[in-house]
Amino acid sequence: MKRGRIVGTGMSVPEKVLTNADLEKIVDTTDEWILARTGIRERRIARPDECLSSFAVPASRAALEMAGIPGSEVDVVICATVTPDQPFPATSTRIQDQIGANRAAAFDLAAGCTGFVYALSVAEQFLQTGWAKTILVVGGEVLSKIVDWTDRNTCVLFGDGAGAVVLRSEEAPEGTERGLLGTALRSDGSLASLVELPGGGSRAPHSVATLEGGLNFLKMKGSETFKIAVRSIAEISDEALTRSGLRHQDVTWFIPHQANRRIIDAVGQRLEVPEGHTYVNVDRFGNTSAASIPIGLDELNRAGRIQPGDILLFSAFGAGLTWGAAVVRW
């Protein structure tokens, strides 16, 4: 069976670092509260003239360079995001143009913080059927542009950046395949109001009233979301491992979506991931939504901490609600 093997990874984040101490000057918060409740110390924030493609394009170039593959060989560009450069055209087409992917299909995918896992699963379908041989999957966000910087409940949580992977289809004998082994995806739109951007779409187009009502800002019901996140990430991780014919103990690296250190720890305990095998960088980047897993993956990969044959588990949860997991043999 054909599998999508990850042959290149890349990431790019804004230069500007916003610390908890900086936030103390903006809203009524403290470094102690943020660190204790979320595990975040600092996050990267885009300049006013930067947008999603400012990070998505360099992340994509880095992944292609590592893979040694020119843009012209890419068959599909998928960009997972809820903060595109503009509502349309899709930011993936801007990436496609700037990396010289001159014969590629390109589209964006909106599944909130689960976007990267959803995009991997979509890529897997293209690769397994033989429709595509090489796919660039990008997860990127510039959440700082939709955050209400007067709302301490949300503005301390999020950060900007992008990560990318190049997937190449490979055929190998059963049991020796490297690449995507299995994915599991879910959604529950009845819980849409837990994490949302209410305005700016056809339901509440931007107007003086929507702006005055703050509908142009991200809204999140944090504690309700927290409880569902822990259970859902644990369950979907189980399902993806079962589909891949693997057990918890087989996981070398658990790379979860980085929303909150307490969610990551609670899920790690439920999954019985051995000590030191869960990757955490929420302290340095905050919650970068669809970018968090590919950024974590690229950091681990470039540090030489992933060996051929290692089993990686990616799990995420976010707006929609959506949740999903993917298992990869490196």
Positions that interact with ligand UT7 (CB under 6 A) = 29, 33-34, 37-38, 113, 152-153, 156-157, 195, 220, 222-223, 225-226, 229, 259-260, 263, 287, 317-318
What amino acid occupies position 27?
V
CA 24 to chain CA centroid, nearest Å: 27
Of 306 and 319, nearer to ligand UT7 (C-beta) is 319
Distance CA 282, CA 299 (A): 13
Q: Min. distance of Cβ 95 from ligand UT7 in angstroms?
A: 23
Nearest to 256 by CA among 153, 203, 326, 320: 326
Distance CA 63, CA 227 (A): 35
Of 19 and 242, nearer to ligand UT7 (C-beta) is 19
Of 34 and 312, nearer to ligand UT7 (C-beta) is 34
Which residue among the candidates 20, 51, 79, 113 is catalytic per the annotation? Answer: 113
- Is residue 277 annotated as part of the catalytic site, yes or no? no
Q: Min. distance of Cβ 40 from ligand UT7 in angstroms?
A: 9
Q: What angle, rounded to 10 degrees, do the helices at 52-67 and 292-302 form?
A: 40
- Is residue 51 annotated as part of the catalytic site, yes or no? no
Q: Min. distance of Cβ 197 from ligand UT7 in angstroms?
A: 13
Q: Min. distance of Cβ 31 from ligand UT7 in angstroms?
A: 10
Of 156 and 240, nearer to ligand UT7 (C-beta) is 156
Which residue among the candidates 20, 51, 155, 287 is catalytic per the annotation? Answer: 287
**Integer angstrom CA distances of residue 310 from 137, 139, 207, 217, 252:** 21, 22, 51, 40, 6
- Is residue 79 annotated as part of the catalytic site, yes or no? no
**Integer angstrom CA distances of residue 45 from 1, 82, 116, 200:** 42, 16, 20, 22
Distance CA 94, CA 66 (A): 21
Q: Min. distance of Cβ 294 from ligand UT7 in angstroms?
A: 15
Of 225 and 315, nearer to ligand UT7 (C-beta) is 225
Q: DSSP class of residue 150? A: T
Which residue among the candidates 79, 257, 260, 301 is catalytic per the annotation? Answer: 257
Task: Give catalytic residue positions.
Answer: 113, 257, 287
